[in-house]
């Protein structure tokens, strides 16, 4: 139903291979969905849609209208929807995609509203895990660690942004 593959980030010409979720080719069946979420919380690099090949019938996004104004992090919402319907997910360790990032890109600029978007998506994700009766103790701890690193990066970006340099 879904193939998730590795990718290389190319930032201003410098290649950075993404960290793999599994050491080898791995198939996750629908009854192992909690393992999938545990891995995705540990490494949010695979929450994006452009490292996935998805069966068309899994792309129904009803129920996400409340998030239509998000500017960032919406890929995780779509991934949750896709994974909840998939019966089999294959993790391919081959690097099949190059993701180019330009330093002066508008998507890389600091924006205060991005923090609100990420917070809304992570809150929804944790509630989804609770609703699916996954053991959320570990998930909450991992999400908290991820969130703290995000906040740290956010503060650093704020300090380095034009907003932080206003007179």
CA 153 to centroid of chain Cα atoms: 16
The DSSP code for 35 is H
Which residues fall within 8 angstroms of residue 17, CB to CB, at 6 or more apart?
6, 8, 9, 95
User: Dmax of the chain from CA atoms?
Assistant: 56
Helices of type H across the chain: 33-42, 74-85, 112-131, 136-160
pLDDT on residue 167: 47
Does pTM top 0.75 for this prediction? Answer: yes
Average pLDDT by stretches of 10, the chain with 167 residues: 91 85 87 83 82 90 75 85 91 90 66 82 85 74 79 77 54
pLDDT on residue 48: 87
Query: CB count, 10 Å around CB of 118?
Result: 21
The DSSP code for 31 is G
pLDDT on residue 107: 59
pLDDT on residue 54: 94
pLDDT on residue 106: 57
């Amino acid at each position: 139903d879904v193939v998730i593959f590795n990718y290389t980030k190319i930032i201003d010409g410098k290649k950075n291979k993404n960290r793999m979720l599994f050491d080898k080719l791995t198939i996750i069946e629908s009854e192992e969905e909690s393992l999938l979420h545990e891995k995705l919380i540990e490494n949010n690099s695979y929450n994006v849609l452009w490292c996935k090949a998805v069966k068309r019938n899994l792309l129904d996004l009803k129920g996400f209208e409340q998030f239509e104004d998000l500017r960032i992090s919406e890929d995780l919402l779509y991934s949750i929807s896709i994974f909840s319907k998939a019966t089999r997910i294959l993790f391919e360790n081959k690097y099949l995609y190059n993701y180019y990032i330009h330093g002066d890109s508008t998507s890389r600029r600091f924006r205060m509203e991005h923090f609100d978007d990420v917070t809304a998506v992570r809150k929804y994700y944790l509630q989804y895990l609770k609703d699916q009766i996954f053991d959320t103790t570990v998930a909450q701890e991992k999400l908290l660690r991820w969130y703290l690193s995000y906040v740290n990066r956010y503060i650093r970006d704020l300090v380095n942004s034009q907003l932080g340099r206003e007179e």
